[in-house]
Amino acid sequence: MKRIITATVRNQSGVLNRITGVMTRRQFNIESISVGHTESATFSRMTFVVHVETKGQIEQLLKQLNKQIDVLKVTDITDEAMIERELALIKVAAHSHSRSEIYSLIEPFRASVIDVGKDSIVVQITGTQEKVEALIDLLRTFGIKEIARTGVTAFTRSTKKQEKNQTLIIS
């Protein structure tokens, strides 16, 4: 199962290497990593998407990451109300006769064309992994030349999920 883990860490060289080393030694498959500064320049926020088989494995990973000296806080936010985004740039083969079809295809996704070449266009999309994957699947019929993805970044919402029926409660 896919889990989204966030970690607040000291902004120092080698921290990412030590954290991914913990995951590698425990044989976790890392699907994506996103790292950036926080509101304080001395800290960074890391977002990992990892695949685990059991709940026990994720608990073990959280404990191991919390033991790292440069890690201030680690949280599995998968089951919480969260905001999740990924950015993708997709270079699509596009001749003059297919461009209007591509434009109409990307519009419902709120994607945009950011570069136009003689035989290709570059599309930018931001959204959940599922939204990005859906657009990529639709664009495959035109011929994808290149894809660059940032990986997931996420944090919890101000509202909380209600346990029973998974609705949001506004506090």
Domains of the chain, first to last: 2-76 (3.30.70.260), 85-153 (3.30.70.1150)
CB 74 within 8 A of CB 67: no
The pLDDT tens digits for 4-52 are 999 999 999 999 999 999 998 888 899 999 999 999 989 999 999 999 8
Q: Does the structure show a pLDDT above 60 at 164?
A: no
Q: Does the structure show a pLDDT above 70 at 168?
A: no
The pLDDT tens digits for 51-63 are 988 888 899 999 9
The pLDDT tens digits for 103-160 are 999 999 999 999 999 999 999 999 999 999 999 999 999 999 999 999 999 989 887 6
Per-residue buried b or exposed e for 55-84, using 16+ beta carbons within 10 Å of the residue's own CB: eebbeebbebbeebebbeebebbbeebeeb
